[in-house]
A and B are shown apart, each in its own frame.
Chain A
Amino acid sequence: MRSSKRYILTLSLASFLASLLIGLLIYLLIKNEGPFSITSNPVNGVKICITAGCVHCLLNFILFYVYAPNSLESGFRIVNIAKCCCLLVLACFTFHVIAICFGAPLIKSATETLHFAILLTVLVCLPFCLFFGPSIENWFEVFIDKSSHVGLETVVYFTSLSALLGSWLGAIPIPLDWDQPWQEWPISCVVGAVGGYSVGLLLSAVYLPRKYSTLHKSKFF
């Protein structure tokens, strides 16, 4: 299926805007001193990030629906939705366990860890489930083959991987002796994940038109 030029441009622009907005959100979360400050109330901050991730997914979904409705995977089927839900819950559980394996406290900050796991699920797994359904074949196409298609696949690929990488890198400042409030688990990792997501969006915003033009030998401007 050949994606239209306008679709790619819109997607790229939307990604760029979303990346900026999410960057702004992180900045606000860190800088403000009020009830939404992530340092004083991590759970609240994570909840805001989760909401932002969901909203972005939905917006993307609308975009997707408007421009390429026929490429949606097998429509809305109850089985698929149930499968997706199971997958998301499983992913959430897995992320929680992985966080504990990496040294998150088992009991003391279980709520924070759970929220962090939900956030990662939203940033990493939700977009994929929403756009491509619970199919391993599609998973392969997006993450292993990553070849011919440009479009949401690219965005999902970049954001998922960079969100994971960001949350991994976010753990690095925790042992430093700066005694900053944001060094508490899981604040730096949350910021890393969301930051990684926004960087991924930025990357895909740049990458999409370039890849498209090389693939279809057509210039945008």
Chain B
Amino acid sequence: MKLLILFHLLSLVFALALFMRAFFPVKNVSRGFSTQKVKLTQGESSLSNTSHGSYRRLVLMVIDALRADFAFGPLNYFPKTFETIRKGHGLQFIARTNPPTVTLPRIKAITTGSTPSFIDVALNFGSPALEEDNIITQMKRHGRQIVFFGDDTWINLFPQHFERSDGTTSFYVSDYTEVDRNVTRHLKQELYKPTWDVMILHYLGLDHIGHIAGPSSPLVKPKLAEMDDIIRQIYNAMEQWDGPSLLVVCGDHGMSDQGGHGGATAGEISVPVLFLSPQIVNRDSKHVASISQADLCPTLSVLLGLPIPKNNLGKVIPEALIGYSLPEKVSVLHQNAIQAVQILKSYVHDLEKESSFMLYSKAKHQYHKWLAARNSTLATAWADEGQILLSMYSQSLALLAEKVTSLSTQYDTYAMSVSIALLWMLLVSLIISHMKKSPTRHSLALSRYASHLITAIGAAVLSHITMCTAVGVPSELLCQTTQISFITQMLVGVIFVTCLLVILTEVPQCESLPRQYQTLVEKMTFVEAFLLIGTLAHAFTLVSSSFVEEEHQTMYFLTTTVHLLLLVQTVTFLLNSYRRKYPSSTIKNAIDMSHNTYERVITGEDINNSCRKISLESVQPECDRNIQVCNSTPSGHYSGSAAAEPRHWSARTVDKEVSDCLHVGKALGKSDKPKGGDSKGNVYCISSKEFLHVSASIICVLVLLRVLRRWNQTGNKWIDVPDFGDWLILAENKMYLSLVAVFSMMIIGASQGRHLKRVQSMSVNLALCTAYLYRVAGESLFFPSSWFLSARGILEARASFFFMGITVVLSLLPTNCFKLDDVQQRPKTLPAIEGQTSKLKKAAYVPVLSRHTESPHCQVSERDLVGQSSKKTTLSHEAAQASSFIARQKKTTSSVSRSSCGTSRSSGQMQDEETVSFSMHQRLRGVAAAFLCFMCLVLRPHNLPVVAVMSLVEQMMTPVVIRFRMQPTYIVLYCLWMGQAFFFFQGNSNSLSTLDLTTGYTGLEEFTPAMTGPLLALATYAGTIFWIVTFLRIVCLMCDKDYKCSEYRYVLLPSVLTGACSTLLLSRALPASIYTVLMSTQRYHLFVWTVFSPKLLYEGANTAVTCVLSLLLLIWSMFQT
């Protein structure tokens, strides 16, 4: 069983990885470098040295995330620059960039003139050297001296290209002054003595401001004024230099209205491009032409006299060719078109049918005629015809670029369909192995299925060979003779055969499928049914692009509904118990009485008295009466159990952990319920006290979820709606932000610390404090003095990690270490003891109450209380005695209801078990607390309340979920939903622009792939991980407190864990298999790169995280057996 799940897990990851590899096309680029310089036909150039291009020097200034309206908007951020342009010494353009609007692909677009593939986004973090033909390499090959200052992506892309360089890391988003100062400090020297030909500057500060505070932040204006100053400085220097020189200012990508980038909103894809030079004389200084970002590459190539890079798809901007005569311009475009047609040739066999090529050949034909007719026609008519030619060439180039872009995204369709087939087979075999409850005796009648198997394998191999040898289906992944391809093929084969085997052997045993379905439905409550239906429906909504963009709405809708349904269920229970009360008024009175007692006890008014009240004399007759009622009336079980519950509680008044006690009481009460006797087995009752408790927590959770909805608006449609997060990160609200942060940290510390050991709680608090200081060092939170803080808070972050580590280690230590801790806490006053979570005592009480093995535990409890007041001792006596009565009653009722609950076991073993299992959920609590601290550290400060609310919601919902005794499978689904919802509450979405990269650099000096990746994954999927830990805790609690725990734990806990594993895998395999089909059918859809592909990446990441988690679960369950 476990091996099967492990196999499913690994093959799920493999199949999805195969699909992604096949789907994200690696562009086929022609290698080598073009050597054909752009020649000008007639040597009539007004500029002297055309062979060197029209400019001797170039300064390329890239301002990261400079969006078009920063330059051309009404706010006039660049006064000095535009003064120059108004004087006619400049040209202005708006360039359209292609998504993904991330730095690395954009730099590639500027330098190669081609459209980079989507997968470059993923490589954005690792940036390997660029091997394609590009303008920088061309410069280098033609002996130009290049210097570079700025984002070190360039240095990684072009190693050994630069004479001098100084790279800055782009990932420290919190710093926006130092990065730019590191660039500007070189300028003075370089401008004074220009020993270079090309200087590239890449300023990151603006992008960082965008990530921190967005485009409307007050930080933007001073930053752009700084940029304006630098432009003026360079321009002034250019006037002094000998030889013509050009300054190009451009943005690599824009900025969305929230400050991120990566998507395709108007703000992100439009960037300004400014050409400034003292040599430029432009009469039409108001005109802003619209270009494509790739056009920069050929234009600069021509202007510098370099060959146009081979893979360039951009077209030379005729307006930028200042000083070129008309024939020269036409000739330049002609050669540009020749170069581009070469690319088209490598993609298309019959060129003649292409509209772009037809236009091109027409233009070429006319071009030669036009050249010949030069002296024979009128000058004006001739010039007009030249203009027409220019536009014809431009048009054909645009068409050609479009065609090539659509062609260059070549999908490996064969590998895609193979991986889809694998995914669906996995899904089916997962469902089958999930449905089957008992592990089948693997008689594995291979001989019975051998013929099927051999036929299927034979067919598969045959079709594989056919597909691979077929023309036109070249599959790089599956049909090559390289080692990697061979291994992939082998793996595919192994997965195929195993899945087939599973399906073939299991399906005949599932002939009772309708019956299984019936039992499944019968066992379900409507909340569980909704969880199942919702999960299915959610997987199917991914078919729609808007539901992908607005997936958070789906999740919010589903979680709200499920909580509402829980509330409805609670109300139904209350009404049920209200109805059941009528048969006997004595029971009603009994309930009321014990309620009163209970209330008084838990408020701690008078413990002694209240315990006296339920002394044995008063309890016993009632018990007996109850049992009689139980026996006499058919519905008496309910009333009996309902009446019994409060007394359980009151018997254990000493322990103040109310919620935990409630579960015991519930579990006890509920297990009295006859299993199959009543047709409405699911209907059971709830006392009014508990009803208040449960419904209040659910309503609280509903309200909190509603507040969180407005914390971070994500998605696409309502992302502009102002939210709390936006308001808090405004610079003027730093004080409020700090207050909110402190408050949420206090909530986290208090709510988690309540259930933790003192040492753990201390280290949790220290971790929280250091996390706060880390943010103070990053200047996003307020603190009175900051002289003791390290730069960028690296030290603080590491200290926080250290304390988290301590918390985790403490929680994983053997239990014995804590006994000392408890003994130390013992000598205290009575209320103090109640306040403490006296675990040992509880450990002693639980078995007393739930089993019939009183004596050893009573001794334990008495021993514990030695040294306390005599009151306390009598109290424990009373409790023990009362519980013995309850146990007796329980025995009777259980024999009546024929429930096969735990019989006697050896008490020593029992106590041992208790200790082990008791500490398990306690340990998980420690791990969860440490993880909350981790979230506090890595998430943005304005998300701290989200973490706090998560902690609160978890604390409120755990008892409720246990109370409703949902089946573990559905608890997994519930936790996954909540995890998903919190993923979106954090501000994530299915667009790459909301990914918070800074989280990956917490406590790190520089980019280290081994740390950054896991950190990023942990932080992004923090919600999911936390809720899976919560699920484990719930399961442990259930196993711990359950009446039947003796069997439940040792037989069921591992199987619950493996069941949870397969549920987790199913929950990933279902959307994956649906989504991959969608992706393959919709691969030419308009939104494929902006909506579907990022979602696929997120799905992949989510699957990876979930698979790692379920692997851990699997390992744990192996240890349990």
Contacts and interface: CB of A to CB of B under 8 A. Distances in A.
Interface of A: 98, 100-103, 136-137, 139-140, 144, 168, 171, 174-178
A196 to B, nearest CB: 16
Interface string B152-188: 0000000000000000000000000000000000000
A175 B578 CA distance: 41
B351 interface: no
20 contacts: A100-B706, A101-B564, A101-B702, A101-B703, A101-B705, A102-B560, A102-B561, A103-B553, A103-B557, A103-B560, A136-B579, A137-B579, A139-B575, A144-B572, A144-B575, A176-B547, A177-B546, A177-B716, A177-B717, A178-B546
B706 A103 contact: yes
Nearest to B717: A175
Nearest to A175: B550
Nearest to A102: B560
A67 B715 CA distance: 56
B557 A171 contact: yes
B724 to A, nearest CB: 13
- Scoring A100, A103, A168 by chain B CB atoms within 10 A of each residue's CB, the highest score goes to A103
A140 B554 CA distance: 32
Interface in B547-564: 547, 549-550, 553-554, 556-557, 560-561, 564
B706 A175 contact: no
Contacts of A171: 557
Contacts of A103: 553, 556-557, 560, 706, 709
- Tell me the interface secondary structure of chain B in the complex: helix
A208 B547 CA distance: 39
B545 interface: yes
Nearest to A104: B706
Interface string B301-329: 00000000000000000000000000000
B566 to A, nearest CB: 13
Contacts of A98: 564
Given A140-B575, A177-B716, A101 B560 contact: yes
Nearest to B718: A175
A177 B1116 CA distance: 45
A190 to B, nearest CB: 17
Contacts of A100: 706
Contacts, number: 45
A177 B549 contact: yes
A178 B702 CA distance: 29
A98 B575 CA distance: 21
A178 B554 CA distance: 17
Nearest to A139: B575
User: Which of A136, A176, A178 has the most C-beta atoms of chain B within 10 angstroms of its own C-beta?
Assistant: A176
Contacts of B715: 175
B959 to A, nearest CB: 21
Contacts of B556: 103
B546 A102 contact: no
Nearest to B705: A101
Contacts of B554: 175
A20 to B, nearest CB: 30
A98 B549 CA distance: 25
A102 B547 contact: no
A176 B560 contact: no
Nearest to A100: B706
A213 to B, nearest CB: 25
A136 B546 CA distance: 43
Contacts of B557: 102-103, 171
A175 B564 contact: no
Interface string B567-578: 000001001001
A136 B578 contact: yes
Contacts of B549: 177
Nearest to B715: A175
Contacts of A102: 557, 560-561
Nearest to B541: A172
Contacts of B550: 175
Interface string B519-557: 000000000000000000000000011110110011011
A176 B575 contact: no
Given A103-B709, A178-B546, 15 more contacts: A101-B702, A102-B557, A103-B560, A140-B575, A140-B579, A168-B561, A174-B553, A175-B546, A175-B547, A175-B550, A175-B715, A176-B544, A176-B547, A177-B546, A177-B549
A98 B557 CA distance: 12
A207 B549 CA distance: 41
Contact of A176 (B546, B703, B709): B546
Contact of A136 (B564, B575, B702, B709): B575
Nearest to A98: B564
Closest 6 CB pairs of A and B: A175-B550, A177-B546, A175-B553, A176-B546, A101-B702, A101-B706
A179 B216 CA distance: 27
A51 to B, nearest CB: 28
Contacts of A139: 575
Contacts of A168: 561
Interface string B696-718: 00000011011001000001110
A117 to B, nearest CB: 15
Contacts of B575: 136, 139-140, 144
B581 to A, nearest CB: 12
Contacts of A178: 546
A136 B703 CA distance: 27
A91 B823 CA distance: 53
Contacts of B716: 177
A100 B702 CA distance: 10
Interface in B684-739: 702-703, 705-706, 709, 715-717
